[in-house]
Every structure is written in structure tokens, then in C-alpha cells.
A and B are shown apart, each in its own frame.
Chain A
């Protein structure tokens, strides 16, 4: 793609649609022009005549025939996207943004920490780790969500939890008595883990408040701010760092992020929207 092309949505077809949760759907889009992407990047998806929203790529980077996006229907654009049927056309720009530090984390232990729908932007990193397992030390996935009914990619989590060298811990904020798993917020799991904080890279994705509490728990456990990476979600519009909608201090989340080291954003996290 030329830099000019990045402004123009390219029509692509929906290949398949799968319901994940009550208002969350996964769309598989056709891969036109074989765009490669990095774990953690996002695309701008355009519903013609309605609007455009940033949606993280949530599939495997090794897939060459399709692009996968998991979408929660919360507004006019995302609701229409989530309702799209196979063969419908979507406008696509991207991929944009920085990815998770997969290369820099090689040789270290990994803490992958997701909250709610934040598991979707982390999933490409998980695929990458599983495909290159020998490059990383101990790998732990912590996943927190609202209730047992809100567990995203449930079958896949069960599959991953059976892997011998991939530790999966799931917790929910509240549950009925039929739930046999953990209850409590995801940061409370961190002190229970055995890991070397000096040789650990943490990748965190979820609602901003959850990330704040999680980063705080990671710091308490001895993980350096520079080794904690957050995927920020701000009001991204142009995705190219021109419009300023997603400006976060001196950072443009769309261009400099969405994955940013905690050391760069810690002073801004408690501030209201810029």
C-alpha cells in the first residue's frame, strides 16, 4: 500500500461471522493484497455510509487468506459491523499502530494479562508465542472478565489450559454457585504467581481502569515499568496521527501506540480524556 492508500477504505468481503458472547461477534474478512500485520495492531473498519471504527486484529498473523476481528456491538458503527453477514462489503484501512514487543520479549518470561474483550488484541500474541514457544521462558495468561457467561474464546482458553507449557488462569468478578473457578479481579492473581520479576515482560490489555490496577500490582511484584506494556484505546479517527483525536499527552495512540510501555503513560492514566 502507498501512504496515500492508507486514507482510502478498501472494500473487502465478510467471509464468516461467529457469535462469541451476547453482543460480541467475530468477523473473518477476506485478505486482499496479503497485508501482513503484527500482533497488537488494528484496522479501521468502515461501514459504508455510517462510519468508521478502529478494531484490533484478533487472528493469527500466519493466516494468509483472512483477517479476523472480534467486535462488540456498542454503538451505531460497531452494531452494524457485528451484524454483517457473509458476502457483505466492509471498508478496510490498515493495519495501523505498534504491536506487542514480541521480539524484545524473547528469552524472558511472559505475563499476558487480559480483561474482558481485551483478550482479542492479545490473541495474536498468544498465537505467536505458541508457534514460537521455544523463544520464551515461562508463559502465563491471566484472564479476568465480568462473569462466567462473559468468557471470550472459552473453547480456546480450555484448549490452551491443557497445554503443558502454557499456564492459564481465569477469574471472574462475580459468579453463581455453579462456577467452580476463581472469583475476584484479575490483579489479585498476580501475587499468587511464581515468576522472576526482573526477567518478565508483561503485556496487558483491557479497560483502562483494569490496566491501572494491574500495572500497580505488577509494580508491587517488582516488574519494572519499562517491562509492562499496555494496549491503550482512545478515540482514534484518522489512524495516521493527523487528526489529533487520540492524542494522549505527547503521544498519538493510533500512530505511537496502541501498545505503549507503562513508563510512557503512567502519569497520564488517571487523567480524564484529553
Chain B
């Protein structure tokens, strides 16, 4: 059976991270599980964790007044849930709901921020891993905003 250090260091988010940094991360980590339908967090709440999904599926949702919530992204094995922990004032920008039994590593955001502040090399290593995720999600959002599958404006 793997210990938490192995699980954290083998997660795709930390792939290639040196063992010293990985050990530092493990000090902030704990195992969590969410049952189907359970929320990892809600929009506006304090962003106190970074979740590394081990197994399962999580929907990021936005509540729409007068309508059912709209899911705009699902995250799966190996993905990262929640980037608001790094952006002041550290509030979640959406809801996150477990669609299936989801096992994850929760990294305490206060602990993580403190360690990144104290060791800029660690902070840089973490940022290098977060930035591609943010960029990829930005590109995805651009495509979603464009509504590319809608009817053409100038039909033949």
C-alpha cells in the first residue's frame, strides 16, 4: 500500500518535482474522499485547498439564478481541482461537485502558500505546473464563449 508521500509525488501534477520539494508538499497533504453528489467546495467560500484527483470525476459548476446549475468543465483522474487558492483574495470561483466516488489529495492552501513564500524555488516549481493548467482552461473558455457549434451567422 502506498503512503501519502508516494501518492503525492506520483501524481501527474508533481511529475518531475525533486524529492526535497515533494517532501515539503507532503507536509501539507491529506487523503480525502467525496461521495457522488457531494460538493468539494462552493463559489465564494474560502479557497483553502488544492485538490489532486486520484480517481473519480468532478464537475465545475456555476449556479444560474432561476435555473439548474450549469457544468462547464469536468475533471478526472490526474487532474487538479481548484486554482483559486493561489489568487488573492482566495475565494472559489465556482462550485465543484463529485459526479462519482472521488478520491483525492487535499493540499492545505495556507500551508502551501507559506512554503511557496518561504522558498521561491518551490513556489516557482509549483507556478510552472499551474500556469499550463490555467492557460489550457483559458483557451477552453475562449472556445466555449465563441459557441463554435452554434448556427453560422451567414448561412448559405
Which among A116, A174, A181, A235 has the greatest number of chain B C-beta atoms within 10 A? A174
CB < 8 Å neighbour of A173 from B97, B139, B144, B156: B144
Q: Which 10 A-B pairs have the closest CB atoms?
A: A75-B155, A116-B149, A74-B155, A207-B148, A146-B149, A183-B74, A185-B143, A185-B140, A183-B71, A74-B151
Query: Which residue of the partner chain B has the closest CB to A178?
Result: B68
| Total contacting residues, chain B, CB less than 8 A | 29
Apart from A23-B151, A115-B149: 8 A-B pairs, beta carbons within 8 A: A74-B155, A146-B147, A176-B68, A177-B69, A180-B99, A182-B74, A192-B76, A210-B148
Chain B contacts for A171, CB-based, 8 A: 74
Is the CB of B72 closer than 8 A to any CB of chain A? Answer: yes
Chain A contacts for B148, CB-based, 8 A: 115-116, 206-207, 209-210
For this complex, 7 residue pairs linking A to B, each with C-beta atoms less than 8 Å apart, are A75-B155, A145-B149, A174-B72, A183-B71, A185-B143, A185-B144, A206-B149
Segment 182-235 of A: residues with Cβ below 8 Å from B: 182-185, 187-188, 192, 206-207, 209-210, 213, 235
The contact size tier of chain A is: 35 or more
* Residue pair B70, A210 in contact (C-beta under 8 Å): no
CB < 8 Å neighbour of A176 from B71, B76, B140, B151: B71
Chain B contacts for A235, CB-based, 8 A: 156
Per-residue CB contact flags for chain A residues 31-54 toward chain B (1 = under 8 Å, else 0) read 000000000000000000000010
